[in-house]
Structure 1
């Protein structure tokens, strides 16, 4: 049922509705007209906020990825915890977020997998942010003497790549395995141990 017409049309409201439309119709069939219909407005009203279907899909993708970034940023910024603990917590939070996205709403996860392929620039920005957060944690660990790395950006990228099986959507089918938790713990322990002085 469309929301009340008196409710103001905002970019956030459009993005929320677009997510529902994508969930309902999938990425190949969902249109701006479907989004407008769900909002109870003309498609021209949607285009006033997003100039094209591609721009709308890109914004939805960016919003979806940003949710993970915000959660991880909180761990990155928790300077009251030692860097190795934060590194483990950060990797666990990333894996947990990805696993929940894939398991809790598989239709929407599949939709976003399609959108991620369309919006490589948004994805590259997201990945750069995640690697930068890892770099901050490692850099602080080097400063406090709890971690060792001569090239922090390279170390951050190596950690991200080494744990790819636990956050790259191409491995989503493996995340429901009964042994995945133990496998994640083993890889994480090895990675953190490898960064110890």
Structure 2
């Protein structure tokens, strides 16, 4: 720890994270080493290990931050006003796609923090998937209680929705022409979501 500087450790941690993020955007996790991170942060290699047990621990924290930002956008969309639940579900998927796409503007490897072969990124992404499934399940349950949606098994329905929208999440979201995403997403909304609307017998 850095004595005489109460905020020294947290400041050093922030410098390490910022340096790592810059490197990852340029080179990706596989080509970034702890020595690279220390050099970029202008600290000793040993100081990196005072804050993080490994490179994977740094990458996982940064990946979690990116996933948290996406989840915050999705939760914000889910909570907007008193709109019908189908419209809220649509807004959630739109917010997810926009948030992930915005990462692509951050450099050649910017998307690696939400999708790559790194164990750390996979761990962060798995937690994100659990959270987004829980968010969808909650919306489906509430929509069914409100009499707006026809959903017999919310967990199964949430998983099915995520499969239906898989191409609008990493890695597939980044592979097609960006200008086609919005129209394709709108088409999937029409086909998938509005079939959930409860209709009078």
Change (3 A) 1:180 1:53: closer
TM-score (norm 2): 0.83
Q: Deviations for 1:9-52, whole angstroms, at most 9, x for unmatched residues?
A: 42344222210021233323211122222222212222112111
Q: Deviations for 1:119-143, whole angstroms, at most 9, x for unmatched residues?
A: 4332211111111111111111111
1:37 aligned to 24, 36, 39, which one?
A: 39
1:165 is aligned to 2:167: yes
Structure 1 residue 54: Cα displacement: 1.8
Within 2, Cα distance between the matches of 1:76 and 1:152?
16
Match of 1:94 in 2: 96
1:150 aligned to 149, 152, 156, which one?
A: 152
Give secondary structure in 1 for the equivalent of 2:90.
helix
Structure 1 residue 105: Cα displacement: 2.6
2:51 aligned to 49, 52, 58, which one?
A: 49
Segments of 5+ residues of structure 2 without an aligned counterpart are none
Q: Contact 2:26 / 2:110 at 8 angstroms: preserved in 1? A: no
Within 2, Cα distance between the matches of 1:6 and 1:36?
21
Q: Contact 2:30 / 2:118 at 8 angstroms: preserved in 1? A: no
1:108 is aligned to 2:109: yes
Change (3 A) 1:168 1:107: same
Q: Contact 1:147 / 1:195 at 8 angstroms: preserved in 2? A: yes
TM-score (norm 1): 0.85
Within 2, Cα distance between the matches of 1:184 and 1:25?
31
Segments of 5+ residues of structure 1 without an aligned counterpart are none
Within 2, Cα distance between the matches of 1:168 and 1:77?
24
Match of 1:8 in 2: 8
Task: Name the count of aligned residue pairs.
Answer: 191
Within 2, Cα distance between the matches of 1:16 and 1:175?
30
Q: Contact 1:57 / 1:115 at 8 angstroms: preserved in 2? A: no
Match of 1:174 in 2: 176
Q: Name which of structure 1's ranges 87-96 and 68-77 shifts more when overlaid on structure 2.
A: 68-77
Change (3 A) 1:139 1:165: same
